Amino acid sequence: MKLTPRQQEILDFIKSTLEVLGAPPTRMEISSAFGFASPNAAEDHLKALAKKGAIVLEPGSARGIRLVEQLGLPLIGSVAAGSPILAVENVQGRYAFDASMFSPKADFLLKVRGTSMIDIGMFDGDLLAVHKTNQARDGQIVVARIDEEVTVKRLQHRDGFIELIAENPEFQPIIVNPGEVEFAIEGIAVGLIRGAVSKLS
């Protein structure tokens, strides 16, 4: 489900507090940060986030907030127009993988579609482990967004344009002219998963 702007702000605040303090914020800390009149308003927002599947609330604890993304790697489905690739509405489920088993660590999974990368052993239906970054070197396998389409290809910068190269001679390279289309690198491939996997949600 899509989050409201305020819900996204609160979710980002929870994430940043976890990174800085190593623990989620209390309702009082959320209320103070956003100028709510009472912790009850924070509680209402937290319940809405829990209902939309962004967090899990653990009763009986002042800091009983757990990010769903801590429960495994998210599988990204179709990407909603204009939304960040890891937005809640793009997540189809979560799988039981330790992100640190990949180097650099994986941030999300993407299901391989089609046969454009079969020459490097990437088959339709495989799960690609992706490290989220907007920086990539020539020759790396990237997850790229062109307008609202997401594709997996090998990156190559040319003089004045970018070439996204398939690993299958039946597919022509994709030529990207910056300025003519919206182009962004969403991440780099760090691993491939095939076969039975445990889905958490």
Residues tagged active-site: 116, 153
Handedness of CA 35, 36, 37, 43 (dihedral sign): negative
Handedness of CA 135, 139, 144, 147 (dihedral sign): positive
Pairing of strands 73-76, 108-111: parallel
**Tokens in use for 32?**
């103070």
Q: How far is CA 25 from CA 21, 28, 191, in A?
A: 9, 8, 34
DSSP letter at 156 equals: E
DSSP string, 71-122: GSEEEE-SPPTTS-TT-GGGEEEEE---GGGSSSPP-EEEE--SSTTGGGT-
Biggest alpha carbon–alpha carbon distance for the chain: 62
